[in-house]
């Protein structure tokens, strides 16, 4: 599993911010989540499942979860998927991700959100190219 640390930025598209991308021998995985006030500190990008890569399969998996006050991911579950073969990789990545913790004086409690993982065999060209 690859990790990306620090503030990750991208072009906003329909309220969704692309926050990480991994391109490698085994395809590409894009990670997107809606814009929130909790900054990601560690965004784990899932590995492309080997069997799915050999079978030339692509998928999208949406994982929903809660970010607690300490910035940990809690209660992750698969909201939707286009192939079950990618669920394990996506769940492993979300469990390894972390967010900026809240200061004790901040009133906000846990935040519920979802992250979309797009597993693709070919890198997508940016819009307009």
Per-residue confidence (pLDDT) for residue 55, from 0 to 100? 94
Per-residue pLDDT of the chain (129 residues; tens, 9 = 90+): 444 433 222 222 223 344 555 555 466 777 666 656 778 899 999 999 999 999 999 999 999 999 998 999 999 999 999 999 999 999 999 999 999 988 888 777 788 889 999 999 987 666 666
Domain residue spans in the chain? 2-120
Per-residue confidence (pLDDT) for residue 59, from 0 to 100? 95
User: ∠ CA(18), CA(102), CA(5), 5° rounding?
Assistant: 40
Per-residue confidence (pLDDT) for residue 126, from 0 to 100? 65
Sign of the dihedral defined by the CA atoms of residues 98, 94, 118, 64, in that order: negative
Burial class (CB within 10 angstroms; exposed 0-12, middle 13-18, buried 19+) of 68: middle
For the full predicted model, state whether its pTM sits above 0.85. no
CA atoms within 13 A on the CB side of 120: 14
Per-residue confidence (pLDDT) for residue 7, from 0 to 100? 28
Does the structural domain 2-120 have CATH classification 3.40.50.1820? no
């Amino acid at each position: 599993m690859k990790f990306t640390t620090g503030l990750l930025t991208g072009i906003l598209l329909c309220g969704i911010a692309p926050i990480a991308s991994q391109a490698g021998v085994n395809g590409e995985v894009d990670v997107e989540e809606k814009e929130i006030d909790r900054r990601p500190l560690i965004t784990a990008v899932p590995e492309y499942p080997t069997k799915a890569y050999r079978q030339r399969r692509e998928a999208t998996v949406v994982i929903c979860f809660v970010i607690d006050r300490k910035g940990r991911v809690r209660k992750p579950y698969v909201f939707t998927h286009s192939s079950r073969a990618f669920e394990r990789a996506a769940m492993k990545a979300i469990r390894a991700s972390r967010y900026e913790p809240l200061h004790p004086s901040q009133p906000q409690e846990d935040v519920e959100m979802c992250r979309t993982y797009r597993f693709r065999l070919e890198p997508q060209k940016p819009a307009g190219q």
